[in-house]
Amino acid sequence: MFSQLALWCSSALLVSATTKSSKRGLAFAAGDTPGDLNNANQTKSHISWQYDWSISPAAYLAESGIDYIPMQWGSGKIELFQDAVRTQGAKTVLAFNEPDYDKESNMLPSDAAKLWKQYLEPLKADGIRLGGPAVTASVTGRPWMTEFMSLCTNCSVDFIPIHWYGDGEEGFFNYLWDVHTAFPNTTIWVTEYASTSANVSEVARFLNATTTYMDTLDWIERYAWFGFFVRSL
């Protein structure tokens, strides 16, 4: 589904810098080459956060020195989530990966809202920021999220994660603005995105244009390119 050239461009995220970017993160760093993660935690790197769709980090992620964001991927073992988050001392969490898609967490909005109220909302009392479900950019995504938000009354959704894969900056920018228009009072995290073009120059242009643009938008709180597989190139 994802172009190897798109993955190649993840190396461009590690540009010369004197300070970390609070926005820029990694959606996934390959576990079969854990040494690659060292490249993402150098002083010249912008990377400041990471996640891997799991409740707790693998050892190589925990030891990287990069802030790890736990995720409750679906409904499975959700009763363990609160304790895991508190044990890690996490300040932010993510919840429910692509619940509108039958090949991902595949949840009804009503079920997700009930689980959120029981298992995620209590974390707010600990001062933990709660990221909403991350729906796909397909036709099922927006209706699912709209229904979830209407059902999850008095829920503390601090930001909305979104995913997007496609070809060309215009489609990506339009999607960002569509989501922002639908939920204008909630900031956005782009927790998965990449160009699917097979042309390396187009992918590089897309990466540079999108990161530059998102850095100018105050309602884009964070973003993460998919993914970081340096040695597979």
pLDDT in tens, 8-26: 344 445 444 457 889 999 8
**Per-residue pLDDT at 55 exceeds 80:** yes
**Per-residue pLDDT at 232 exceeds 70:** no
Quick one: the chain helix, strand, coil %, rounded to 5? 40, 20, 40
pLDDT of residue 226: 87
Average pLDDT value for the chain: 89
Record the pTM: 0.89
- Helix ranges, the chain (H): 4-8, 59-62, 81-88, 109-115, 141-151, 169-182, 200-214
Average pLDDT over residues 103-107: 98
pLDDT of residue 19: 74
Alpha carbon separation from 170 to 101, 133, 166, 167, 217 (Å, rounded): 24, 24, 10, 9, 16
Q: Count the domains in the chain.
A: 1
Q: Please count the CA atoms within 13 angstroms of the CA of 52 that sit on its side-chain side.
A: 17
CA 205 to chain centre: 21
Average pLDDT over residues 78-82: 98
CATH number of the domain encompassing residue 107: 3.20.20.80
pLDDT of residue 38: 73
For residue 3, name the pLDDT band (cuts at 50, 70, 90). very low
Q: Which domain range does residue 117 map to?
A: 4-232
pLDDT-above-70 percentage for the chain: 88
Picking from 189, 202, 192, the residue whose alpha carbon sits closest to that of residue 228 is: 192
Contact 160, 126 (CB under 8 A): no
**Per-residue pLDDT at 37 exceeds 50:** yes
**Per-residue pLDDT at 188 exceeds 90:** yes
Dihedral sign from CA coordinates of 17, 21, 25, 29: positive
pLDDT of residue 13: 52
Residues 6+ apart with CB under 8 A from 149: 132, 157, 183
**What is the distance between the alpha carbons of residues 229 and 218, in angstroms, rounded to a whole number?**
29
pLDDT of residue 1: 34
Q: Which of 24-28, 48-52, 135-139, 146-150 has the lowest mean pLDDT?
A: 24-28
Q: Which of 95-99, 141-145, 228-232 has the lowest mean pLDDT?
A: 228-232
Q: Is the preceding omega at residue 131 within 30 degrees of 0, hence cis? A: no
Average pLDDT over residues 124-145: 97
pLDDT of residue 44: 64
